[in-house]
Every structure is written in structure tokens, then in C-alpha cells.
Amino acid sequence: MQLLISKLDTMHVTWDQPWYQTSLCLTRCTVTNYEDNEKLEKFRTTHFTNQECEQIKENWANFITEYDVPDMLQSFARWKNRDCKNPSSPHEQVRRFVTAYLAQGLERNMHQVYQYVVKHFGTPVKGNYSDVEKKLFNICFYFNEKDAVKNLSLLLGRNPRGIYKQLHQVHEGKPERKKLKWTLPLATKFLNLLMEHSQCSLEELKYKKFDKSVWLKLESDMDQQYQYLQKSWYNALHVQIFVKQDVKINRLRKKIIRILRDSPYEVWRDICWKDLTEHFPDGFTHTFLYKNFTCLLVGKTDYLKQPLPKVLDYILHKINTRRKNKRLRTLTYENGNLELISYKKNTKNQSKEE
């Protein structure tokens, strides 16, 4: 960052900027009632497309060439000005200029571009430690235990809290993951506890986000990690309870394919799964759609880089060659118990998902 500050005198905006890229604040989104002024250009508010992501990378490549700085966008994304947050300080002037440079050619405001850079290049690495990371972990703690956490955080790009957690697991071992087989009595117990701890009726549970305290109580009562209970609720049980029609999984997948073919998405990462729920009956969650669609891509490692139509053709082929067409096991809540709804007797009256 000091290298960028030393070049501040040469950083001048020489290109035309739309009104929404002239804000001096990067932490608050540009807000204006441009609907009352037809002369003001509108900016995009949806998720970043693959084309926009490539434009940001191209702008960054031009920036490092023009200003002769290292290719370290990650350092810019993670840099925090703790000493002085005055908008007129050199640090903040540099931050605004770099963000404005990256925003060239985009119908986005400065806040959106800056948040994109922070999210995709500045967020800490999460997930399991690789073999290389484990070796570096052991080396740092062996030779310099006092500053090991600080050094590992900079080296691996991980949050210090996560490093302390890994250190605890090295000495104490990982918590045991208990296998849980869901049955109707167990699902009923979970649902009753969820209504009790959240103080909500059954209908109020639909699409509701619960505080972590609620999940921790469920973790204690169910003797199961709350992260697993969360996934089970949003990925399965929520849909089984609130979807009130017969659903065949392969038919559901084919509908997703039709929607994606008609969408402007170009690659897999463009897909906004939350938007897809608008095309389905009430009760479906985006995580359920994502989980039951992407499970067909297990073993295919290059789908993120391939054009979306090619990936959809691959999924459609797998659907057509599968023997089983499973049916969603929908449930009804009667007299404090969950019961399975059977559609087998009414196959002629099944609702079609077109």
C-alpha cells in the first residue's frame, strides 16, 4: 500500500465517469431516486456476471502495467486503514482511485465494485487444511511459536480465529461427527423443538432465518452439530413440509435446465440460485434446488470453466440415462406429528411442473 501512496501524485481520473461512480464513500451504497430523473443513467444491482468479472481482471492488469506495481490485488482487498479513516487522507484517496480504475466499463457504482473485490480477493480462506498448509502450520509453530498465528494468517490468508481452532484440533482432536438417520419420529421431534425454541407457529417457520442461539439449543437437544441441522432443515425438511404437491426429482431438474437455457447466464458461476425459486411453487428453497441439481456433476471437475449450455447438455444426458426417478417425500403436520403424504394412488392427477 505504501508503494501505491508514493504514486498518488500520478493518479488522476482521465476517463469519463457516470454519476454513480463519483461517490467519495466506498462503504455505503449509492442511493438516489433516479426514477424521478430520466437523465440519470441506471446502474446494475444484480450479481456480477462472468463478463463483468473478466472486465475487473482486465482493468487490474492494465493498472499494474500502467503504475508498475506488483500483481497483488489480494493485498489491496485485505488492506485496512485503522489509523486514519478521513476521506481526504492519502490512504483513502488511493483506495478510491484504484476502485474507480477497476470500475471502468462497468454499470456498477463504486461501493459494488469495492465489495466485489473484498469478497472475492480479500475474504479469509476457509475449509479443510491442505497437506501443504498443514506442513507450513507445523513449521511456523515449531520455529516461531510466539508469532506463528500472525505469520500463518498472512501466509495462508486465513482468519486467526480459524488458526487457533486448527491448533485446538491438533492437540484435542476433531469433534466426532455422529451419523444421523432421519426418521419420521426424529423429524417430528426436531420440528417441535424448532417451533418451541423459535416461538413460531408452523406457518411462520417458512423461509424464516433463525438466530444462532436457536440452533445451539437444538444442537443440545438433538445431540448433533447445529451446522448439520441447519443444512437438513433448508436442504430437505423445509421443502418436504411446505411444498404441497407431487414432485418428481428428474422432472424438477429438467425444469431447472429449461429456465437456465432461457436465462442470460453464460457460465455456471453466473447462476443466482435465489432467483430460480421465483419459478417454482411456494416452499422451495434455493439450497434444495442447488443440491439436487449439482449432485449430477459429481466427478466432473471442469464444469466451472465450460459454457453453461454444454454443462446443461451433460446434466440432461445423465438425467435421461438414470433408471430411477425419485419422488419428493412430502410431509404433513397433524396433531403434533409429521405424516408422509402418499401420491401413488393419484398418479393420474399429479401436478405437472412445466
Which SS3 state, helix, strand or coil, does residue 338 take? Answer: strand
Mean pLDDT of the chain, nearest integer: 85
Please report whether residue 201 resides in a domain: no
Q: Is the pLDDT of residue 223 over 50?
A: yes
Grid coordinates belonging to 243: 411444498
Which SS3 state, helix, strand or coil, does residue 61 take? Answer: helix
CA 172 to chain CA centroid, nearest Å: 31
Measured between alpha carbons, how far is 28 from 30 in angstroms, rounded to an integer?
7
In terms of domains, do 149 and 103 share one?
A: no
In terms of domains, do 55 and 32 share one?
A: yes
In terms of domains, do 92 and 137 share one?
A: no
In terms of domains, do 135 and 51 share one?
A: no
In terms of domains, do 19 and 110 share one?
A: yes
Please report whether residue 345 resides in a domain: no
In the block, cell 426436531 appears at: 190
- Dmax of the chain from CA atoms? 77
- Within 13 A of 90's CA, how many CA atoms are on the CB side? 10
| Cβ neighbours for 129, distance < 8 A, ≥ 6 positions apart | 137, 166
What pLDDT, on the 0 to 100 scale, is given for residue 351?
45
| Cβ neighbours for 216, distance < 8 A, ≥ 6 positions apart | 226
Please report whether residue 233 resides in a domain: no
Contact 312, 297 (CB under 8 A): no
What pLDDT, on the 0 to 100 scale, is given for residue 33?
47
Please report whether residue 237 resides in a domain: no
Measured between alpha carbons, how far is 40 from 36 in angstroms, rounded to an integer?
9
In terms of domains, do 135 and 30 share one?
A: no
Please report whether residue 288 resides in a domain: yes
164-218 pLDDT per residue, tens = 888 888 888 777 777 788 999 999 999 999 999 999 999 999 999 999 999 999 9
Neighbour-count burial of 127, counting CB atoms closer than 10 A to its CB (0-12 exposed, 13-18 middle, 19+ buried): exposed
Please report whether residue 69 resides in a domain: yes
In terms of domains, do 54 and 144 share one?
A: no
Please report whether residue 301 resides in a domain: yes
Partners of 332 in the β-ladder: 339
What pLDDT, on the 0 to 100 scale, is given for residue 38?
57
In terms of domains, do 101 and 137 share one?
A: no
In terms of domains, do 57 and 106 share one?
A: yes
Q: How many C-beta neighbours within 10 Å does residue 27 have?
A: 9
User: How far is CA 182 from each of CA 12, 179, 203, 213, 220, rounded to the nearest angstrom?
Assistant: 61, 10, 22, 23, 17
Q: Which helix (H) or strand (E) holds 239?
A: helix 238-242
Q: Is the pLDDT of residue 102 over 90?
A: yes
Measured between alpha carbons, how far is 4 from 11 in angstroms, rounded to an integer?
9
In terms of domains, do 89 and 36 share one?
A: yes
13-70 pLDDT per residue, tens = 888 888 888 877 776 665 554 554 555 678 888 788 888 889 999 999 999 998 888 8
Instruction: Return the amino acid letter for 276.
Output: L
Q: Number of structural domains, the chain?
A: 3
Measured between alpha carbons, how far is 340 from 36 in angstroms, rounded to an integer?
53
Question: Who wins on pLDDT, 77 or 253?
Answer: 253
pLDDT-based confidence at 239, cuts 50/70/90? very high
In terms of domains, do 49 and 147 share one?
A: no
Instruction: Return the amino acid letter for 299.
Output: G
Contact 109, 23 (CB under 8 A): yes
pLDDT-based confidence at 221, cuts 50/70/90? very high
Please report whether residue 19 resides in a domain: yes
In terms of domains, do 138 and 108 share one?
A: no
Measured between alpha carbons, how far is 16 from 300 in angstroms, rounded to an integer?
44
In the block, cell 426514477 appears at: 35
Q: How many C-beta neighbours within 10 Å does residue 3 have?
A: 13
CA 276 to chain CA centroid, nearest Å: 15
Average pLDDT over residues 96-120: 90
Measured between alpha carbons, how far is 73 from 243 in angstroms, rounded to an integer?
45
Q: Which helix (H) or strand (E) holds 319?
A: helix 308-321
- Within 13 A of 142's CA, how many CA atoms are on the CB side? 6
Domain that includes residue 270, residue range: 249-326
